[in-house]
């Protein structure tokens, strides 16, 4: 394994994070808050560590998928460890475990919080807390690819390790330009939402933070009641943009280059919008039956469906009190998630499309044993390798999910709390049901449960395997063997 290149990538990531930490420092200066000094000190420390790690550029800057997975996983862990320091040193979060939980939840765009009172936070901490969503939404390594060239196929290996979805491809011949296009779309949609929120008379600072949470599909609220206190107009703006950020960004690329027919024929996007429409219809009906007005019912249903399927986690009402069928739909949406290639989490609509088509193919093979039919998506045949990886992903997901539910059940909470806490974290959603419902938080959980859920958040955001590979003995054996060979050469 090219460990020197992994070290170099980690250093670059920390330098980027150091620069990004200057933004909450500037916010603190504008609002004349003493906490700003902490952000400056952590920013300098973060940049210094990154600078030391990148002093020597590796002789070989080519690395393969395993290096990409290791670099990606360690980058997210290092980012979280550095990013939690301002929370802890400002004492706005008293416990290091809680500070780390909040930071991982931010970067992974989960939005599960340990805080019961967010309106008392300083402006710089509020900004950094929401900004972590925006950083994690597209991924800091995608940004790295946009500015730092790597040799050969190294770029695509790094992008595959971080970008969500069953497959990652190039929009244009060079990955660097693909990353740049993705970020331009990301920034453009974020700015557009900020403008619409300002039209809705939301103060600029609040519009900025709400847009960060929506763009990254994160869901950290800056108010104790999340988005419930804002006007219906604002709620609909957030609803629409949550849905937009849950769409595969390839569709936006096609629209930008006027390939409208191809953009609107993407199968995954059509199923994604259809699922939203059906879920909103059923939940709206249930709310109307519960004596809510039609418009109010549709508004609440649309917001919560968009929030859950895109794994954003904002809320406008306590859906924990809804009818059982409505809550069941929301739990199912937690697992389905948004489109591949979006900022949303979950298993992804594309994987479910492939799984359903795989089942259909198997049923057909029972009826027509000699028939040979390939699974097709968007009219193109799906390679066996992709089908196999989707099946393996689903099995691995269920194993981790079951193990996590068991581990946190040792703390004695009820099954619904445990089940939805894991579902909300591994799918990067935020709120669950019962004790971790939309009006509650994760602060009451013991340390063991929090670390299990932190692992789930990272595993969910990184699509399981990049994180799991860190626990494979072969990775560390290769690294140790490489170091021993280098020592022998240096002695000679």
Q: Which residues of 351-372 are buried (b: 16+ CB within 10 A; e: fewer)?
A: bbbbbebeeeeeeeeeeeeeee
List the chain pLDDT tens, one digit each, 492 residues.
677 788 888 898 899 899 999 999 999 999 999 999 999 999 999 999 999 998 887 776 666 677 778 888 898 999 999 999 999 999 999 999 999 999 999 999 998 999 988 999 999 999 999 999 998 887 766 666 655 555 544 555 555 555 545 554 445 545 667 777 888 889 999 999 999 999 999 999 999 999 999 999 988 989 988 899 999 999 999 999 999 999 988 888 888 888 888 887 788 899 999 999 999 999 999 999 988 899 999 999 999 999 999 989 899 998 988 999 999 999 999 999 888 888 888 888 988 988 888 888 888 888 887 777 788 887 788 888 888 888 888 999 999 999 999 999 998 889 999 999 999 999 999 888 889 988 888 999 999 999 999 999 999 988 888 888 888 887 767 666 665 665 565 555
pLDDT at 481: 64
pLDDT one-digit tens code per residue, 69-101: 888 889 899 999 999 999 999 999 999 999 999
Q: Which residues of 228-260 are buried (b: 16+ CB within 10 A; e: fewer)?
A: bebeeebbbbbbebbbbbbbbbbbbbbeeeeee
What are the Cα distances from residue 390, in Å, to 5, 63, 264, 334?
29, 24, 24, 18
Which two three-digit tokens encode residue 51? 């600078």
DSSP string covering 82-120, please?
A: HHTHHHHHTTSS--HHHHHHHHHHHHTT------S--TT
pLDDT one-digit tens code per residue, 14-55: 998 999 999 999 999 999 999 999 999 999 999 999 999 988
pLDDT at 12: 87
pLDDT at 63: 66
pLDDT at 263: 80
Calculate the CA dihedral of residues 217, 220, 222, 226 and round it to 10 degrees: 80
């Amino acid at each position: 394994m090219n460990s020197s290149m992994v070290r170099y990538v980690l250093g670059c990531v920390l330098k980027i994070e150091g620069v990004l930490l200057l933004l909450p420092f500037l916010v603190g200066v504008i609002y004349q808050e003493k906490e700003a000094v902490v952000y400056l000190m952590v920013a300098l420390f973060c940049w210094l560590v990154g600078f030391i790690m990148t002093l020597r550029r590796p002789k070989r800057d080519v690395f393969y998928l395993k290096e990409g997975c290791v670099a990606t996983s360690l980058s997210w862990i290092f980012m979280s460890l550095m990013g939690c320091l301002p929370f802890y040193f400002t004492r706005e979060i008293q416990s290091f475990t809680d500070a780390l939980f909040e930071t991982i939840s931010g970067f992974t765009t989960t939005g599960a919080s340990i805080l019961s009172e967010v309106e008392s936070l300083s402006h710089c901490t509020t900004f950094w807390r929401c900004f972590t969503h925006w950083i994690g939404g597209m991924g800091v390594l995608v940004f790295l690819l946009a500015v730092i060239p790597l040799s050969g196929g190294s770029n695509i290996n790094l992008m595959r390790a971080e970008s969500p979805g069953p497959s990652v491809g190039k929009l244009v011949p060079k990955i660097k330009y693909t990353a740049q296009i993705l970020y331009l779309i990301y920034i453009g949609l974020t700015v557009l939402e900020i403008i619409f929120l300002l039209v809705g008379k939301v103060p600029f600072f609040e519009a900025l933070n709400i847009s960060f949470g929506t763009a990254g599909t994160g869901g950290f609220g800056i108010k104790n009641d999340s988005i419930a206190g804002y006007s219906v107009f604002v709620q609909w703006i957030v609803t629409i943009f949550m849905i937009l950020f849950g769409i595969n960004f390839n569709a936006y690329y096609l629209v930008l280059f006027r390939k409208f027919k191809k953009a609107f024929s993407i199968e995954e996007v059509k199923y994604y919008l259809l699922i939203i429409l059906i879920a909103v219809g059923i939940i709206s009906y249930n709310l109307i039956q519960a004596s809510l007005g039609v418009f109010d019912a549709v508004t609440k249903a649309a917001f919560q469906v968009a929030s859950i399927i895109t794994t954003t986690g904002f809320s406008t009402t306590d859906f924990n009190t809804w009818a059982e069928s409505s809550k069941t739909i929301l739990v199912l949406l937690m697992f389905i998630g948004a489109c591949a290639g979006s900022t949303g989490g979950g298993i992804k609509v594309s994987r479910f499309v492939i799984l359903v088509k795989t089942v259909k193919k198997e049923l057909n093979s029972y009826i027509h044993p000699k028939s040979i039919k390939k699974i097709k998506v968007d009219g193109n045949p799906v390679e066996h390798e992709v089908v196999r990886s989707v099946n393996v992903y689903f099995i691995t997901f269920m194993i981790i999910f079951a193990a996590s539910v068991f581990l946190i059940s040792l703390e004695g909470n009820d099954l619904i709390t445990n089940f939805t806490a894991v579902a909300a974290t591994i799918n990067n959603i935020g709120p669950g049901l019962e004790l971790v419902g939309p009006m509650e938080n994760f602060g009451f959980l013991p340390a063991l449960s929090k670390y299990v859920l932190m692992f789930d958040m990272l595993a969910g955001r990184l699509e399981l395997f990049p994180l799991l590979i860190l626990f494979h003995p072969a990775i560390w054996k290769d690294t140790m063997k490489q170091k021993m060979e280098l020592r022998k050469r240096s002695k000679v």
